[in-house]
Amino acid sequence: MPITVRKVSTSKEMRAFITFANKLYRNHPCYVPNLISDDVSTLDREKNPAFDFCEAEYFLAYRDGKLAGRVAAIINHKANETWNVKQVRFGWIDFIEDIGVLDAMLQAVSAWGKERGMTDIVGPLGFTDFDPEGMLVEGFDKPGT
């Protein structure tokens, strides 16, 4: 069961990144999907003003050649400077139930951050502290609010 993680580099891959969660959770009765147009705007370097002080890379994970997960790696230079830290954030993290996929994606985020001088990995977080984190840790049986 080989797992590979690749940077998103084409518009087709970006679409797969944006729509992955909707496909992964589509049969869950309590899942509330994001608006695709919101994610498109948020993740677009030309449209999101956070890119004035952030840099990001998006990754897709594949297991046996099939899409198995997604994660964003983000460096918020303003936050790092303010708090005197060297953190790479991970966000937009969704994956099949496979700890190997999770590990491979977090290793990719960590390596990307280290290449840019980061020493710590934190998340799930968005570009800023005002972005939704989107991680459900309990209440899977209740509708979203």
Over the stretch 72-123, which tens digit does the pLDDT of each residue have? 999 999 999 999 999 999 999 999 999 999 999 999 999 999 999 999 999 9
pTM of the model: 0.92
Q: Contact 118/86 with Cβ under 8 angstroms?
A: yes
Q: Contact 78/62 with Cβ under 8 angstroms?
A: no
Fold of 7-122: Aminopeptidase (3.40.630)
The amino acid that residue 98 corresponds to is D
For 92, phi and psi rounded to 5 degrees?
50, 45
Find where tokens 């952030």 sit. Answer: 54
Find where tokens 């983000």 sit. Answer: 74
Q: Structural domain boundaries of the chain? A: 7-122
